[in-house]
Amino acid sequence: MSEDILDQARALFFAEAREMCEQIESSLLQLEEDPADRELLNALFRAAHTIKGSAGLFGLDAVVGFTHHVENSLDRLREGLISLDISFTSLLFECSDHIKLMLRDAESARDGAAPDPSVEQASGGLVVRLAPFTGASAVAQSPAVAAAAAGAGEALTDNKNWHLSLRFGKDTFRDGFDPLAIINYLATLGEVMSVRVLTEPIPAFDALDPESCHLGFEISLQTSASKEQIESAFDLVRESCTVRIIPPDRRVADIVALIESSGNGAAHLGDILVDSGAITRHELEQALATQNAVPAGDTTRVLLGEMLVKERIAPATAVDAALTQQTRNRDAKTEEARFVRVRSDKLDELINLVGELVIASAGTTIQAQKTRDSALVESTLSMGRLIEEIRNGALSLRMVPIGETFAKFKRVVRDVAGELAKEVSLEIIGAETELDKSVVEHIGDPLMHLVRNALDHGMETPDEREAAGKPRCGRVVLSACHDSGGILIKIEDDGRGIRRDKVLAKAIEKGLVAPGATPADSEIDNLIFEAGFSTADKVTNLSGRGVGMDVVRRNIEGLRGAVRIQSVTGGGTTVSIRLPLTLAIIDGFLVRVGDCSFVIPLSHVIECIDGATALTGAANETTGMLALRDAALPVVHLNRMFGIKAESSLRQSVVVVRNGTEKAGLVVDHLLGEFQTVIKPLGKMFRNVRGIAGSTILGSGEVGLILDIGSLTEIARAQADAHEHQRGSASSSQRGADHANA
């Protein structure tokens, strides 16, 4: 029953409210004739008041909320606090229309239906525009209004038109600009639906400077132009005019849809917004400048997205969509976009083929040179250059930074130091140094041994360190760098260094050094790489089993690398590992001995001496000495070493090679020059031949042997030592004889 009464009353209310709206409009029209008519002003106020009052009765909260603001402004008008000008009048007409729209919606929606969000937004927009007339800031009013203002990007628009807020600077006229010209220009982009001039900033007449500009405009523009195009209207007046361009609802929806569907891969929020047309490049630059005015890290620094929304430069929904897209991009970037995952065997196949190509190219060059056709030589050379670039590119595909391998030692050092009750910090240098992936895979274990050794043997306990005048916390440095065509990895510690007396005693005990011999310090240090050698007083579970250093050396030599150790008693130990950048291809130096070709890795070659004659040594010995610039250089006769019948030529040549700090000369018959080559492993039968590291196929199709410089310099050095000690060391000559038989 009561429902019925309410229904009837509702119908009456709607009719009455519409009447009130008519009254507002007629009063406004009459007030235009006679703005001071108090009766009309009162009637105007009463009409709004009545609508508000009755709407509350029927639970039409939206109508109540909105009419409240209209009533407030009319109250102030009635009190004479504000005057009725054209802009205010037209705004009130719009408000009246809007109330009628809300009433119609409410009437058709009946109970339970959700209010139309676009109507609510329009309310918000009008409330904001009413704010100057209600004497309060729009935002600080009721929560409903605050919410409307928060979504101002949408709320300010009347749904289908662009909204432009222009504030011209005082010097606009003096700068030669005419706001009217710009509005006229806007009209060429579309239809200017309404222009409202902001009169509040205009000073009283006696204070008015007619040459200064006090104008502000609120413009509603219907156009299909983009935000960028609209902004371009203000290109020339940027410095004199503050511009806010708010897109229509439909545009906002379009922008959001565009951001969501575009798959824009940009990493920056601003770029996504600019690309979608939500903001212009210029707006972005200004916002960034404002943001950057506050130093990074300052708590008052606002996020770009927040600022764009707050300053009403970009609609909140568009910023949200762009933020989501940005997060998506960030995730995708780190995982996929920056990497292509390729099976490593495919890569190996490619590198192998490139290697063959390098060989074939070298062969072609040689053939071309034989023809003495300079044009042909030229073209093969340029092809060779390109192939070399392809080779470098292909090899770089396999290159990975060593940092990842290094990084895991942080944990190792922490844990091991804890177990040993020592204080150790690890420093990593050159983590970005790149080397072949297969080298990286194989270097992990040797490094682990060396780092553990440094902690276990090298590093003293904190108390011992303090007693020695060192900081309690020990330091281990892992470093990597590129060094003459290879990579140099160092493990340095500032521990006690190698105790040479102990090492020497042990070596004599093991029969590695003849009793009474006095090897050089560096030789003693490197004894610890011998098999079965350990000086640790007791075997810990970390090291001291006497297999570590021996295995380390073999692993590294297996990678065509070399390991050296340097130590300062009481000052620390440095282990240096020199490794080739890649295992697949080397730059070699081709030499000939008899009818055999040998390749010396170019990174080891220091110099070549053509036709050296000042050789010493018996005619049948593998090794000898060469006087090179007043210094004695141990040499190896390759023909004797490998049992090759040498050419009868008297002019033999020497290639001076270096392995770490050791130097040696290799006596050969002919020097053939630089040569790029792919390393092919030796067959099982030849794997143990001393002095040979691998094989390769020469351009002529012949097999060339790649020399193992590490073992050859060792042979030469053993010989030199033997000379030094006037053949006093039995073990050295013993070793020399071994090599000769190898």
175 sits near other proteins (criterion: CB under 8 A): yes
215: tokens are: 């104008």
Q: Say how far apart CA 590 and CA 599 lie, in whole Å.
A: 5
Find the binder of other proteins among 19, 83, 160, 174 (CB under 8 A).
174
Find the binder of other proteins among 61, 239, 336, 373 (CB under 8 A).
239
Q: Say how far apart CA 607 and CA 602 lie, in whole Å.
A: 10
185 sits near other proteins (criterion: CB under 8 A): yes
Given the DSSP bridges, would you call strands 662-668 and 670-678 parallel, antiparallel or unpaired? unpaired
**Residue range at the interface with other proteins (CB under 8 A); choices 44-52, 201-209, 229-237, 518-526:** 229-237
Q: Binding string, 188-217, against other proteins, x = CB under 8 A?
A: x----------------------x------
Find the binder of other proteins among 177, 533, 598, 675 (CB under 8 A).
177
225 sits near other proteins (criterion: CB under 8 A): no
Find the binder of other proteins among 145, 182, 246, 586 (CB under 8 A).
182
Q: Say how far apart CA 395 and CA 386 lie, in whole Å.
A: 14
176 sits near other proteins (criterion: CB under 8 A): yes
Closest by alpha carbon to 179, among 233, 112, 143?
Answer: 233
Q: Amino acid identity of 22?
A: E
Q: Say how far apart CA 601 and CA 704 lie, in whole Å.
A: 12
Q: Decide: 359 and 699 in contact? Cβ < 8 Å.
A: yes
Find the binder of other proteins among 3, 34, 200, 235 (CB under 8 A).
235
Q: Say how far apart CA 157 and CA 382 lie, in whole Å.
A: 66
- Closest distance between other proteins and the C-beta of residue 195, in Å? 16
Find the binder of other proteins among 9, 193, 225, 236 (CB under 8 A).
236
**Residue range at the interface with other proteins (CB under 8 A); choices 80-88, 184-192, 194-202, 303-311:** 184-192
Nearer CB in complex with other proteins: 174/301: 174
The owner of tokens 């009013």 is 141
Residue 255 CB contacts under 8 Å (≥ 6 apart), including other chains: 247, 276, 277, 278, 315, 318, 321
Closest by alpha carbon to 150, among 323, 322, 316?
Answer: 316
- Closest distance between other proteins and the C-beta of residue 190, in Å? 15
Find the binder of other proteins among 109, 181, 257, 520 (CB under 8 A).
181
- Closest distance between other proteins and the C-beta of residue 226, in Å? 15
686 sits near other proteins (criterion: CB under 8 A): no
The owner of tokens 């270097």 is 443
Nearer CB in complex with other proteins: 189/488: 189
Q: Name residues contacting other proteins, limited to 583-612 (CB under 8 A).
A: none
- Closest distance between other proteins and the C-beta of residue 41, in Å? 41
223 sits near other proteins (criterion: CB under 8 A): no
**Start-to-end C-alpha separation, the chain:** 118
242 sits near other proteins (criterion: CB under 8 A): no
Nearer CB in complex with other proteins: 185/686: 185
695: tokens are: 């094989």
Closest by alpha carbon to 98, among 175, 172, 170, 155?
Answer: 155
- Ranges assigned E (strand) in 451-569: 474-483, 486-493, 562-568
Q: Decide: 164 and 244 in contact? Cβ < 8 Å.
A: yes
How many residues touch other proteins under the rule CB under 8 A: the total is 19
- Closest distance between other proteins and the C-beta of residue 234, in Å? 8
Count of C-beta atoms within a 10 Å radius of residue 208: 11
Nearer CB in complex with other proteins: 208/606: 208
- Closest distance between other proteins and the C-beta of residue 280, in Å? 16
583: tokens are: 């295992």
Which residues contact other proteins by CB under 8 A? 173-178, 181-182, 184-185, 188, 211, 232-233, 235-237, 239-240
